[in-house]
Amino acid sequence: MSRPVWVYLLMAAVVAAAGGLAYYGYRYSRELSVRERAVILDTMRELAEEKIIGIESELIKSDNAVFRRVDFANLLKLNDFLGTERPAVESVVILDDSFAVVPSGFFTKRRGDSIGELRKLLQERVIGDLGLERLEFERRGHLHAYYDGRPYLFSYIKRAAGERVYYVVLEADLGYLVSTIFQQYFAVRSPRLYQVVDSAGEVVYGFDFAGLPEESVVEIPFSETVDRWRLRVAQPEAAALTGRSSRQKVDLVFIGSALIVILVGLSGVLLGLQRERRANELKSEFISNVSHELKTPLSIISMFGEMLALGRTRSSAQATEYAEIIWRESLRLARLIDNVLDFAKIERGVDVYEFAEGDPVEVVDRSVTLSAQRMQGADMTLDVEVDPEVPMLSMDAGALTLAILNLLDNAVKYAAAGRRVELRLQRRDRRVIIMVRDFGPGIAAEEQGRIFDRFYRARAVRLQPIRGSGIGLSLVKHIAQAHGGDVEVESGLGRGTTFRMWIPIPAGG
Contacting positions for ligand ADP (CB under 6 A): 406, 410-411, 414-415, 438, 440-441, 443, 451, 456-458, 461, 468-474, 497
Question: Beta strand pairing status for 150-161 and 141-147?
Answer: antiparallel
Question: Nearest approach, Cβ of 305 to ligand ADP (angstroms)?
Answer: 26
Q: Which is nearer to ligand ADP, 182 or 414 (CB)?
A: 414
Q: Pick the closer one to ligand ADP by CB: 303 or 416.
A: 416
| 8 A C-beta contact, residue 439 and residue 420 | yes
Compare residues 440 and 485 and give the one whose CB is closer to ligand ADP. Answer: 440
List alpha helices for 310-359, DSSP H: 316-348
Nearer to ligand ADP, 170 or 380 (CB): 380
Nearest to ligand ADP of 294, 319 (CB atom): 294
Nearer CB in complex with ligand ADP: 75/416: 416
In what order do the strands lie in the sheet containing 203-206?
A: 203-206, 193-197, 230-234, 217-221
Looking at residue 158, its amino acid is K
Distance (Å, whole) CA 290 – CA 285: 9
Nearer to ligand ADP, 286 or 304 (CB): 286
Residue 96 CA to residue 127 CA, distance in Å, equals: 12
Closest CB 469 distance from ligand ADP, rounded Å: 4
Cα–Cα distance for residue pair 305/292, rounded to 1 Å = 19
Closest CA to 471 of 286, 244, 304, 196: 286
Residue closer to ligand ADP (CB basis): 166 or 455: 455
Residue 385 CB, shortest distance to ligand ADP, in Å, is 19
Rounded Cα–Cα distance for residues 493 and 74 (Å): 124
Least distance (Å) between residue 470 CB and ligand ADP: 4
Q: Which residues pair with 169 in a beta bridge?
A: 93, 156
With CA atoms as reference, report the closest residue to 496 among 442, 445, 416. 442
In angstroms, what is the minimal distance from the CB of 253 to ligand ADP?
48
CA 168/CA 157 separation, integer angstroms: 5
Min. distance of Cβ 485 from ligand ADP in angstroms? 18
State which residue, 94 or 473, has the beta carbon closest to ligand ADP.
Answer: 473
Cβ–Cβ under 8 Å, residues 424 and 502: no
Q: What angle do CA 433, 491, 399 make, to 5 degrees?
A: 40
Contact 474, 345 (CB under 8 A): no
- The b/e string for 20-44 (b: 16+ C-beta within 10 A; e otherwise) is eebeebeeebeeebeebbeebbeeb
Shortest separation between residue 285's beta carbon and ligand ADP, angstroms: 10
Task: Between 189 and 459, name the residue whose CB sits nearer to ligand ADP.
Answer: 459
Nearest approach, Cβ of 298 to ligand ADP (angstroms)? Answer: 18
Q: How far is the CB of 489 from ligand ADP (least distance, A)?
A: 8
What SS3 state is found at 100? coil
CB 436 within 8 A of CB 499: yes
In the complex, what is the shortest distance from the CB of residue 283 to ligand ADP, in angstroms, rounded to a whole number?
A: 14
Closest to ligand ADP by CB, 298 vs 466, is 466
Residue 343 CB, shortest distance to ligand ADP, in Å, is 10
Answer yes or no: are the C-beta atoms of 141 and 131 closer than 8 Å: yes
* Continuous segment of H or E residues that includes residue 437: strand 431-438
With beta carbons less than 8 A apart as the criterion, state whether 222 and 52 touch: yes
How far apart are alpha carbons 357 and 394 in whole angstroms? 4
Residues 260, 236: Cα–Cα separation, whole Å: 34
**Closest distance to ligand ADP from the beta carbon of 415 (Å):** 5
CA atoms within 13 A on the CB side of 406: 31
Neighbours of 483 (CB within 10 A): 22
